[in-house]
Structure 1
């Protein structure tokens, strides 16, 4: 049974890197125009820069929250990440939602930065990044993070929320411990999100922000298009991953994710979506009112 006292989740669009970078120029204002709350850009190797995409999306919109989901920490010096996020937050206060995480380890190996202990790196990195964004002067001699009397000249006040991404139990516990919220991988079922929500509640307590992504298609052959998309993100068709159907069907799935603990539900298009603008209008004009109502 749905929890009628639970607030409606924030609704957003996942600008997945299967979309060409230049497509963001029209999509970011369109996400805002149809009334969605958030736009999430990705940083996948070797496709698109999360920071560059977020900067452009923030500049092309006026109220939209722009999330970065997520920056792989082995790829980026923590001082550089702090500088970039602080700059964006000061230019566009209150609208940036950055996320960091392990990154895909095979990709990290390709560029020679795969850590022996991803958990240790993420702990050191998130702790140092949070301190730098808070305006602290930081010195640390960690296994992976080394800083000698480093402080930002222009720290944001207040700093943006720092989201952490993870998938395994130990990583998720770390996101609950150190993050202002948790980013989940794509292609998860409602039941999987509920399991994560329960783990986070045990670690952090109720109310920990949780961002879930759902693959959505509507119109002709919607289910076939979802089933073709799911394996590309590591899932298996027919196991409840993604949703196909009309506005009522999609809204019901969003509410199920919210009941499972998701505070933000981010819509992901299938690859080769035949009418991306129409799909976005469907989400903002038909699905969002049902969710919020």
Structure 2
């Protein structure tokens, strides 16, 4: 497995010095990647349907700093040389895919091909309404947005005809560093798992419950095979958000047996135990035991 850190653009790490501290320490310790999250706005009042807490509400305050994921990634890319940088996840239906494709391709080109994009349909209706974007059409908008971005990352003039997005031949340069940018489908539902199996380069199941994650991964892999796709679906899963469980490696062995490719740990969990000390301990005691090379390292 490879190891990453998630929620890197949240709270104290939305500040420049702390963002650089986190990235520098993670790169030195041997972490493979840093992952960001996205909410443009968080409504003061919303229907409690957050999928990862029992009461359906965010686990953090409404006014917690949450930096724009792509800008944060660009800032950190300029200060690092090896770390891969990803969104886990970006709420694609809220975005214009032509602009987003340009931003991602530019960032991937400038970072030397170090970008991973996790995308999700979103769950917060009130946020969609504040942005003037249809919540009910978010699934179809997301499917088309993925297709549009991949189309624009191909060379030459590109055309797209869909129910949500359409355009005549256009050019969008620069192109990504490699042929494209990996797109991971994120979510804690079977709908997300099936979408990942059909269209994703990877799957990023939400939540920390082992049985739920195993079920979602099995669903995604089944859909991948049923769709007749070749190769394999990369799996990124979460480790724990409880600092007291950092010494419990049973869940890592479970993830390893499940065939998970990458495990991520929230930055806030690391920080609660002392950022520098905890990252160093993980780099010395955990990563060497469970880590495996990335696809880029294997190709090299």
TM category (shorter chain) comes to: 0.7 to 0.9
Matched, 1:17 2:10: yes
| Cα contact 1:58–1:92 (8 A) shared by 2 | yes
In structure 2, distance between residues paired with 1:171 and 1:58: 29
**Pair 1:83-2:102 in alignment:** yes
Partner of 2:57: none
Give the structure 2 partner of residue 212 of structure 1. Answer: 237
What SS is found at the alignment partner of 2:239?
strand
TM-score normalised by the chain length of structure 1: 0.80
In 2: Cα distance, 1:278 partner to 1:210 partner:
28
- Label 1:264 to 1:126 Cα distance change in 2 as closer, same or farther (>3 A): same
Normalised by the length of structure 2, the TM-score is: 0.78
Q: CA deviation at 1:273?
A: 1.1
SS of alignment partner, residue 233 of structure 2: coil
Matched residue, 2:51: none
Q: Which residue of 2 aligns with 1:285?
A: 284
Going from structure 1 to structure 2, the CA distance change for 1:92 and 1:71 (only over 3 Å counts) comes to same
How far residue 261 of structure 1 moved from its aligned partner, in angstroms, is 3.5
Contact 2:102/2:172, CA 8 A, preserved across alignment: yes
- For 1:53-68, what aligned pairs fall within 5 Å after superposition? 53-68=72-87
Does residue 31 of structure 1 match 2:52?
no
Equivalence for 1:103: 122
C-alpha distance 192-19 of structure 1, shift in aligned 2 (>3 A) = farther
Partner of residue 50, structure 2: none
Question: Which residue is equivalent to 2:209?
Answer: 189
2:240–2:246: 8 Å Cα contact kept in structure 1? no
Match of 1:231 in 2: none
SS at match of 2:264: strand
Compared CA separation, residues 140 and 245, structure 1 to 2 (3 A) = closer
Say if 2:152 and 2:158, in contact at 8 Å, map to a contact too: yes
Q: Secondary structure at the match of 1:140?
A: strand
Residues 262 and 59 (structure 1), Cα distance of their counterparts in 2 relative to 1, 3 Å cut: same
Question: Unaligned 5+ residue runs, structure 1?
Answer: 1-8, 223-243
Deviations 1:71-109 (A, max 9, x none): 211221111111111111111223111122212333222
**What SS does the corresponding residue of 2:232 show, helix, strand or coil?**
coil
Where 2:208 maps in the other structure, the secondary structure is coil
SS at match of 2:219: helix
- Conserved 8 A contact 2:184-2:202: yes
The change in CA–CA distance for 1:161 and 1:114 in structure 2 (over 3 A counts) is same
Instruction: Supply the distance in 1 between the matched residues of 2:288 and 2:128 (Cα, whole angstroms).
Output: 41
Aligned partner (choices 251, 256, 259) of residue 258 of structure 1: 256
1:147 aligns with: 167
- 1:27 to partner: Cα distance: 0.6
* Distance change >3 Å, CA 161–CA 245, structure 1 → 2: closer
Q: 2:144 aligns with which of 103, 124, 146?
A: 124
Q: How many residues align?
A: 257
Q: Counterpart of 2:188?
A: 167
Q: How far apart are 1:255 and its partner, in Å?
A: 2.1
Task: Find the aligned partners of 1:252 and 1:18 in 2 and give their Cα distance.
Answer: 29
Aligned pair in 2 of structure 1 residues 271, 61: CA closer, same or farther (>3 Å)?
closer
Pairwise CA distance, 1:217: 4.4
Looking at structure 2, the residues matched to 192 and 16 of structure 1 have their Cα atoms a distance apart, in angstroms, of 26
What RMSD over aligned residues (CA atoms) do the two structures have, in Å? Answer: 2.2
| 1:233 corresponds to | none
- Tell me if the contact between 1:138 and 1:151 (Cα under 8 Å) persists in the aligned partners: yes
